[in-house]
Structure 1
Amino acid sequence: MANNVINWVGFTIQVIGLLLITIELYLPALSERLKIFLESIQFRLVGTTATKQYWNWVAIGAYISIWVVSVAIVSILDPAMSIVANVAFTIFTMFLGSVIFMSKVFVRLGIELGRGNVIGGVGLVLALIGFTIEISKMVIA
Structure 2
Amino acid sequence: MADNVIHWVGFTIQTIGLLLVTIELYLPKLSESVKVFFERIQFQFVRRPGTRQDWNWIATGSYIFVWVISVAVVSIWEPSMSFIANIAFTIFTVFLWLIIYISKIFVRLGVVLGRGNAIGGVGLVLALIGFTIEVSKMVIA
**Superposed pair shares fold, TM > 0.5:** yes
Residue-by-residue CA offset, 1:91-122 (whole Å, 9 max, x unaligned): 11111111111111111111112121211232
Indicate whether 1:22 and 2:59 are aligned. no
Contact 1:106 1:121 in 2 (8 A): no
Partner of 2:44: 44
Deviating beyond 3 angstroms after TM superposition, the runs of 4 or more aligned structure 1 residues are: none
Distance 1:46 1:104 in 2: 27
SS at match of 2:31: helix
Cα-Cα RMSD: 1.6
Partner of 1:86: 86
* TM-score for the superposition, normalised by structure 1: 0.90
Distance 1:24 1:39 in 2: 16
Partner of 1:137: 137
Tell me how far 1:125 sits from its aligned partner: 2.8
Contact 1:106 1:124 in 2 (8 A): no
SS at match of 2:94: helix
Distance 1:93 1:125 in 2: 23
Distance 1:76 1:11, change over 3 A: same
Distance 1:70 1:139 in 2: 33
Distance 1:77 1:60, change over 3 A: same
Distance 1:128 1:95 in 2: 20
Tell me how far 1:47 sits from its aligned partner: 2.3
1:91-110 alignment runs, 5 A limit: 91-110=91-110
* TM-score for the superposition, normalised by structure 2: 0.90
Contact 1:25 1:114 in 2 (8 A): no
Distance 1:12 1:81 in 2: 36
Residue-by-residue CA offset, 1:58-109 (whole Å, 9 max, x unaligned): 0011011101111111111112111211111111111111111111111111
Give the share of equivalent positions with the same residue, in percent. 70
Contact 1:23 1:31 in 2 (8 A): yes
Q: Gapped runs of 5+ residues in structure 2?
A: none
